[in-house]
Amino acid sequence: MFLLDLTFDTPAENLALDEALLDLCENAPEPVEVLRIWESPQPIVVIGRSSRIDVEVNRSRCANLGIPILRRSSGGTAIVAGRGCLMYAVVLSYELRPELRGIDEAHRLVLGVIAEYLRELLPGVEHRGLSDLAIADQKISGNSMRCKRNSFLYHGTLLYDFPLELIDACLHTPPRQPDYRAGRSHDEFVMNAPLTAADLRQTLIAAWDANEELTAWPREETVRLAIEKYSQEEWTLRL
């Protein structure tokens, strides 16, 4: 698998690159798989493709804190990210992994792989709900996916040193919750994994055997998507 460890300065470019990598793999003449790792240099709120922004996000508080709100191309509910929250994206091939065409199976496989390797450092990490990783009923990772004909994008968060109070400040109670949350508030439900960014990076690389650097990444498509889509209020505020 190819590896791309790359963070841009702007939130729009960071979100755009995940979609551009999916398009790259989708249209490749033969199966290509990529792991990307990044970490936002500033706090950001990222809502899901079908999220209703005012239902999930405290827009006035985000404005007061100077935290931008963006919409990603995948599903799921809103997240808050920034320094102390490692982000990853893995683009996988249906030709190489035909068993993953079922959405539930895709969640089980991807999170199962990551959890297996994380347990070497964090015993007790489990796949919980539809798309979380948790330790003793506290969430350390939320994830979402987007499917195309030949490839799918699976991406998410790994909290390790994040100011968790920002989650409660920026987000309302989510409209959809896993049963194991049991109605708990953000600050009761979410925790930082007691690991470093380096620990998490190496775990992801090992889990996906991503040892070949991706040099021909889609620069022009990333810029185009950032300008034409991810930085546009028409996209962000569409619901």
Confidence at 156, pLDDT banded by 50, 70, 90: very high
pTM assigned to the model: 0.96
Phi first, then psi: give them for residue 51, nearest 5 degrees.
-70, 140
Structural domains in the chain? 2-236 (3.30.930.10)
CB 157 within 8 A of CB 143: yes
Using CA atoms, how far apart are residues 78 and 51, in angstroms rounded to an integer? Answer: 7
Q: In what order do the strands lie in the sheet with 34-38?
A: 125-128, 132-135, 138-147, 151-159, 85-93, 34-38, 2-5, 212-213
Kindly state the tokens that stand for 153.
């994008």
pLDDT tens digit sequence for 20-59: 999 999 999 999 999 999 999 999 999 999 999 999 999 9
